[in-house]
Amino acid sequence: MFSLMQILAFAVWVPVGVWVYTVIGWLVMDEVDTSVGLLALGVGISLGVAGSFAPDRSYAWVPFSVALVTVILYPLVNESWRKHELFKIELERIGNIYERLRMNRADVYGKTTLAMLMYERGLLHPAAALMSGALKGQPKDLFQNEFKALARWQQELGGVPLRTETQCLRCGVSNAGEDCFCRRCGAEYLVDLVRRRYVGFTGWGMLLGVWAVLAGCVAAAPFLVSNQVSPEVRLGVGIGAVVVAMAGLGIFVSKGVRS
């Protein structure tokens, strides 16, 4: 009869296989850099080797657990990455709107579009104040959808008094709802509000870098702590773990922090 640890020693290749298949898909679709993908493949296979060929099978559950948790968490991580990519597209749209507003600060269309993007991001009061200020004195037949949106927002806010001023995150001064540029420092303070509203991963590079360091250490641990391994093998595994850790940290710095 096989023991549980013997079963896990070979079962580890199931989540590792899923991981390898996923990473190969990223590489084919050019969703990750080649260096990042190869590092992820190497670490994933190392987890399988650590589970199957570690001198002490009692540690087999550790690499198996790491590989399994990686696969289980993948859908959540992927969804967060997708939302981040959509958020970057929204930021680009907001940047284009501000390009229009620099040339014409009274651009009603630019202000109302910006207000709608802000409302979708949960900035309810600043969005409603901006929309209200932009539509002040405008003919309703030309901005029917905008007036309807403002009426719906005011209804959703209910009896809560509308805050008509928004504080600049850079200099702290309060700005009127229809102003898109800070009256003191000239900053595009509404962009800062949108950025602060978002919380999520900064990129695949950062995430894979951290994962590679942790998973690489887990894969090396069974060989480093066992007395059944020769000093030469232990030295080789240790050097490999250091290389993986340095590569993972390099990815974290160059692609995660920079983004």
Q: Rounded to an integer, what distance in angstroms lies between the CA atom of residue 240 and that of residue 79?
A: 32
Residue 84 corresponds to which amino acid?
Answer: H
Per-residue pLDDT, 237: 60
Tokens 């020693």, residue located: 9
Residues 38 and 78 placed together within one structural domain of the fold: yes
- Which residues lie closer than 8 Å to 241 by C-beta, 6 or more apart? 216, 217, 219, 220, 224
Residues 102 and 190 placed together within one structural domain of the fold: yes
Per-residue pLDDT, 259: 43
Per-residue pLDDT, 185: 92
Per-residue pLDDT, 75: 79
pLDDT tens for the chain, 259 residues: list them: 457 777 877 888 898 888 888 888 878 887 777 877 787 788 888 888 877 777 766 777 778 888 888 888 777 777 766 777 788 788 888 889 999 999 998 899 999 999 999 998 888 888 998 998 899 889 989 899 999 999 999 888 876 666 778 888 889 898 887 889 998 998 888 888 887 765 554 555 566 666 777 777 777 777 666 666 666 665 666 566 666 666 655 655 555 444 4
Chosen domain end from 197, 220, 248: 197
Per-residue pLDDT, 239: 65
* Contact call for residues 134 and 122 (beta carbons, < 8 A): no
Tokens 């501000």, residue located: 98
Residues 122 and 193 placed together within one structural domain of the fold: yes
249: nearest Cα among 203, 204, 212: 212
Residues 69 and 110 placed together within one structural domain of the fold: no
Chosen domain end from 162, 197, 232: 197
DSSP SS3 for 44: helix
Q: What residues make up the domain containing 123?
A: 86-197
How many domains, in total, are found in the chain?
2
Bridge-based pairing of strands 165-167 and 174-176 is: antiparallel
- Which residues lie closer than 8 Å to 65 by C-beta, 6 or more apart? none
Residues 101 and 166 placed together within one structural domain of the fold: yes
247: nearest Cα among 27, 37, 71: 37
Partners of 174 in beta bridges: 167
Residues 179 and 229 placed together within one structural domain of the fold: no
Residues 104 and 74 placed together within one structural domain of the fold: no
Which pTM value belongs to this model?
0.58
